Amino acid sequence: MIYDFSRYEIGDQGIQEIRKGVLDALRRASEGHDFVDKIMMWRETLASYTPSLVGLDAIDIDFVKSVLVVFKAHHVPS
């Protein structure tokens, strides 16, 4: 997907870094950090870009909150 949008090949190392970032986000979310607040700030910041980025309107904060309930119930180990 990154290549399709940017024509930049991130390679295997880039893929591993993205995986680490996703796992770290899951850990933080399951530990109860202010994850929803940070996502909302991130969304507002990205929404202010000109030209606008595609897909931001699809970020459903209520869905994110419901996913966090599951993460907190099943803590992601370090």
In the chain, what are the domain boundaries? 2-73
H helix or E strand, kind and range, residue 28:
helix 11-30
- Look at residue 37 in the predicted model and tell me its pLDDT: 78
What is the per-residue pLDDT across 38-77, written as a single tens digit (0 to 9) for each? 777 877 787 777 776 666 666 777 887 787 777 777 765 5
- Look at residue 60 in the predicted model and tell me its pLDDT: 76
The stretch 2-18 carries a mean pLDDT of 88
- Look at residue 69 in the predicted model and tell me its pLDDT: 78
- Look at residue 76 in the predicted model and tell me its pLDDT: 56
- Residues 6 or more apart whose CB falls under 8 angstroms from that of 17 comprise 10
The stretch 13-35 carries a mean pLDDT of 80
